[in-house]
Chain A
Amino acid sequence: MEYIVFIITAIVAIIGAAAMLMSRNAVHSALFMLLNFSSIAVLYLLLRAPFLFAVQLIVYAGAIIVLFLFVVMLLGAERAEDEADKLAWQRPVALVMGLVLLAEAVYVFFLRTGAAMATGVAGDEAFGAPLKIGEALFTTYLLPFEITSVILLAALIGVVVLHQPALKNKLVLPGERGTGNGD
């Protein structure tokens, strides 16, 4: 039963990823990425990680995809690369290099590791319970947890500064009227 769920979800994830790369419209790409993220959330559930399942759906499938869709539609950048590619010869080279990377990863993971990864572990389901995660976050990992909030604050301030029209006006040379926009 678990095999069936895994195989279906894995196929959906790979199809979502491939369709994201191939679709010409950036809005479609964002929606295919949503498909990919949701199937990875299902895999988290299969791996006994209910807390990460919820975080994945809320943060990735909720917040990040909405942010991407907003920016794509705000910029009107759905079809940004219709014009001819200047470096067309790079595309097949990039494809070959990606496939070489995949072959390398498969070689290292499956031919150079022992039997430890070849079998699944049933184990108890309590190791990844939200209660355990919360306890570890607020005892062993308390310092990284607090540093995370500083990182989020720094990102917040960075975004506000980037979109601060008053700061841009100061950069305009005296004598010319600043419009708040560089050109």
Chain B
Amino acid sequence: MVPTSYYVLLSAVLFSLGVIGVLTRRNALIVFMSVEMMLNSANLALVAFAQRWQSANGQILVFFVITVAAAEVAVGLALLVTIFYSKNTTDIDEINSLKG
């Protein structure tokens, strides 16, 4: 069996890559993809711990996280499309006013 710490290490690496993506990229769509990747790496850690303690609770939590992530993607992309229609950009440096 692969030790649990390997999975947690992989999860930490993917999470850090997601953080770097959120901090460095300027395209709002790619920032959003990086957020999704961070959610995914947290899910991986949860499933690894569920396997370590032989419990289904971690997997059920991941199921809920995936559901909420799907809702979040739908609303977030709708917001991006609306912002694009009024500002004609997805560059987060250009989106700097509260009033569209």
Contacts and interface: CB of A to CB of B under 8 A. Distances in A.
B63 to A, nearest CB: 6
A182 interface: yes
Contacts of B29: 26, 29, 68, 71-72, 75, 77, 80
Contact of B54 (A51, A85, A127, A156): A127
Interface residues of A, number: 87
Size band of the interface chain B makes with A? 35 or more
Contact of B20 (A40, A63, A94, A183): A94
A178 interface: no
Contacts of A86: 93
A14 interface: yes
A3 B59 contact: no
Interface string A27-48: 0011001001100100110111
A101 B93 contact: no
A97 interface: yes
A87 B23 CA distance: 12
Interface of A: 2-3, 6, 10, 13-14, 17-18, 20-21, 26, 29-30, 33, 36-37, 40, 43-44, 46-49, 51-52, 55-56, 59-60, 63-64, 67-68, 71-72, 74-75, 77, 80-81, 85-87, 90-91, 94-95, 97-99, 101-102, 105-106, 109-110, 113, 116-124, 127-128, 132-133, 136-137, 141, 144, 148, 151-152, 154-156, 158-159, 162-163, 181-183
